A and B are shown apart, each in its own frame.
Chain A
Amino acid sequence: MALIEVAEVTHKYDGRPVLQNINLNVDRGDVLALIGPTGAGKTTLLRIVDLLEVPGTGEIYFDGIRIPQSGKQRLEIRRRISFIHQKPQVFNLSVYDNVACGLRWRGVEKNRIAGKVDHTLEMVGLEGYRNRNARTLSGGEAQRVALARSLVLEPEVLLLDEPTANLDPVSTTKIEQLISHIARQRNTTMIMATHVMSQGQQLADRIGVLLGGKLVQTGNATDIFHSPQNEQVAHLVGMENILEGIIATNDEGIATVNIDSNAIQAVSSYPVGKEVYACIKPEDITLALSCTRSSARNSFRAKITRVTFIGPLSRVEIDCDLRLVALVTKISAEELNLQAGMEVYAAFKATAVHIMEREIGQ
């Protein structure tokens, strides 16, 4: 039985639908990432799961119990869940009092509170901040106070809304490490909203893609990142090469897709004449100076139009009638001396091409 069950939840704000018929099950110990652009309804869904809001229609079940719309039972169940909001709101109290308040509200004995709070402050690396007013902390520190405030409660379910939004890279890494540590060590069930795809990929067992209030795809990271269900999901997961084409031939699962005047080979079971998108992840495209023999079925002579550096990678835009983007390591870009205007050979495997249906009317 799922620990959290969201059944046919639809929700509106001022008549504007923000969630449409959401069905979602989360098992105990599962870490689910909700990914989607801002305004997709991630926060609203988390608020509903945290019982902060009553859904317009639909039901929430927790541990098999149907949640009533109000009353004492709602509070009792809410106390088994903890929600870390996007903007950390620390109370205008000392760090210690901030972290202790949830325990006090649950009527935990005073001497047990002190032990738990100190332990948790140590865990998030704020042991020296015990008596500081939480309002005087930096964004990253405040986020850790917010995390400690929830973790000290040892909740069965932890809900995180963009836990690293607006944080610097160092703080982000710290928070991510803490989250994955908690997930592994305490087997806490988590639902985490994020627009950072890699974070979902890295921390979650399962990913749900939320677009315009609809849960369009759920699956493990590989499913979502390699086989996005539609163009929007493909864009969301960073699929930079999305090409419109038509299946020209299909020979036992190896299809030829006509894209403008070009043809590429791809693994697909769609029939001839089907209008499709061909998606190729930039890192699956290899670049070489000469036409080497390789297992890649697709090889094109191409001209580099632009080279930009993103951290340890180089993003190379190429033009071979098809406009493509390739990601290569900075070292290989330097070795090959890739520059705008150069001629290269671009290659990718037929299995690297993800074919998806083009929906009519899009």
Chain B
Amino acid sequence: MTEIWDGLTRAIELLVSLDPEVMEIAGRSLIIGGTSCLLASLICLPLASLIHFNKFRGKRALISTIQTLFAMPTVLIGLFVLVLFSRTGPLGLFGMLFTPPVMVIGQILLISPLLLGFTISALSGVSREIVDTATSLGASSFQTVWLVLREARYAVLAAVIMGFARAISEVGCAMMVGGNIKGATRVMTTAIALEASKGDIALAIALGIILLFVALIINIALNRLQQR
């Protein structure tokens, strides 16, 4: 019980004093998670539109597969990326293992099913009549897709938030392909895991609180954005 209390006070101390190491780790988490989320959105939003607006064989099966991949364990993604980028792996020559870019790649793979699935369901929420109305008013296919994405903006934004949340909170992939190298690839989740195993429960809790705090700030900001 005292550990939780210690953790809370430590967290406040670290936050108020803007502890450089904590700030660095939190910043890295944000940058890596944010980059993953941004790149994944850039890939998944158009791809989801493409899947949603086209009729093709196996569409239902594809969507079911995407939804199944929501449950993809982070360590499995980590393993996959590790094999891919390890020195003997097919992409080993880039020597990217244990660097932030490879962590971003892992996280993109991890959150893409989530972003795709939820964007598709967001687009499905826009009625057929809206699409017809846009077409009738002379929108090209591309203009129609853009309009429908805008119509579904709240739900699409929710999908993006969810993607970001999963990216910033995952530990398995970041640990396996990032390696938790101090000053290079250490992020909040891997730091928590490390501190906890070292026995510094208070610091681990402090970092956990900061992580949740960051998530809260981002959610508030995005909600503000939505209401405009």
Check A358 for interface membership: any CB of B closer than 8 A: no
Q: Is the CB–CB distance between A89 and B129 below 8 Å?
A: yes
Q: Is the CB–CB distance between B137 and A101 below 8 Å?
A: yes
Q: Smallest distance from the beta carbon of B142 to chain A beta carbons, Å?
A: 10
Bitwise, B181-211 to A at CB < 8 A (1) or not (0) is 0000000000000000000000000000000
Q: Which of B133, B134, B151, B153 has the most CB of A within 10 A?
A: B133
Chain B residues, Cβ within 8 Å of A153: 137-138
Chain B residues, Cβ within 8 Å of A150: 137
Q: Is the CB–CB distance between B151 and A85 below 8 Å?
A: no
Closest to A83 in B: B136
Bitwise, A147-181 to B at CB < 8 A (1) or not (0) is 00110010000000000000000000000000000
| Pick from A91, A102, A146: contact of B138, CB under 8 Å | A102
| Pick from A78, A105, A149: contact of B143, CB under 8 Å | A105
Tell me the bound Cα distance from A337 to B150 in angstroms: 63
Tell me the bound Cα distance from A47 to B128 in angstroms: 13
Q: Is the CB–CB distance between A102 and B150 below 8 Å?
A: no
Instruction: Tell me the dominant secondary structure on chain B's binding face.
Output: helix
Tell me the bound Cα distance from A231 to B138 in angstroms: 41
Tell me the bound Cα distance from A52 to B151 in angstroms: 20
Give chain B's interface residue range (CB within 8 Å of chain A). 10 to 19
Q: Is the CB–CB distance between B137 and A89 below 8 Å?
A: no
Check B124 for interface membership: any CB of A closer than 8 A: no
Tell me the bound Cα distance from A81 to B133 in angstroms: 12
Tell me the bound Cα distance from A149 to B133 in angstroms: 10
Q: Smallest distance from the beta carbon of A279 to chain B beta carbons, Å?
A: 39
Q: Is the CB–CB distance between A91 and B130 below 8 Å?
A: yes
Q: Smallest distance from the beta carbon of B136 to chain A beta carbons, Å?
A: 4
Check A79 for interface membership: any CB of B closer than 8 A: yes
Chain A residues, Cβ within 8 Å of B139: 101-102, 105
Tell me the bound Cα distance from A52 to B132 in angstroms: 7
Tell me the bound Cα distance from A75 to B144 in angstroms: 12
Tell me the bound Cα distance from A68 to B136 in angstroms: 17
Check B223 for interface membership: any CB of A closer than 8 A: no
Q: Smallest distance from the beta carbon of B54 to chain A beta carbons, Å?
A: 13
Chain A residues, Cβ within 8 Å of B2: none
Check A28 for interface membership: any CB of B closer than 8 A: no
Q: Is the CB–CB distance between A89 and B138 below 8 Å?
A: no
Chain B residues, Cβ within 8 Å of A293: none
Q: Is the CB–CB distance between B136 and A105 below 8 Å?
A: no
Q: Is the CB–CB distance between B140 and A89 below 8 Å?
A: no
Count of chain A residues with a beta carbon within 8 Å of a chain B beta carbon: 23
Q: Is the CB–CB distance between B137 and A82 below 8 Å?
A: yes
| Pick from B132, B140, B151, B153: contact of A75, CB under 8 Å | B140
Q: Is the CB–CB distance between B147 and A101 below 8 Å?
A: yes
Q: Is the CB–CB distance between B140 and A105 below 8 Å?
A: yes
Q: Smallest distance from the beta carbon of A72 to chain B beta carbons, Å?
A: 9
| Pick from B136, B140, B153: contact of A85, CB under 8 Å | B136
| Pick from B129, B130, B137: contact of A102, CB under 8 Å | B137
Closest to B137 in A: A102
| Pick from B129, B135, B147, B150: contact of A78, CB under 8 Å | B135
Check A222 for interface membership: any CB of B closer than 8 A: no
| Pick from B127, B137, B151: contact of A105, CB under 8 Å | B137
Closest to A146 in B: B133
Q: Is the CB–CB distance between B151 and A87 below 8 Å?
A: no
Chain A residues, Cβ within 8 Å of B153: 92
20 cross-chain CB contacts under 8 A: A52-B132, A52-B135, A52-B136, A75-B138, A75-B140, A82-B137, A82-B138, A83-B136, A85-B129, A85-B132, A87-B129, A89-B130, A91-B151, A92-B150, A93-B150, A102-B137, A102-B138, A105-B140, A105-B143, A106-B138
Q: Given A75-B140, A101-B139, output 19 extra A-B contacts at Cβ < 8 Å.
A: A52-B135, A52-B136, A75-B138, A82-B138, A83-B136, A85-B129, A87-B129, A89-B129, A91-B134, A91-B150, A91-B151, A92-B150, A101-B134, A101-B137, A101-B147, A105-B137, A105-B138, A105-B140, A153-B137
What is A's interface to B at a CB cutoff of 8 Å?
Answer: 47, 50, 52, 75, 78-79, 81-83, 85, 87, 89, 91-93, 101-102, 105-106, 146, 149-150, 153
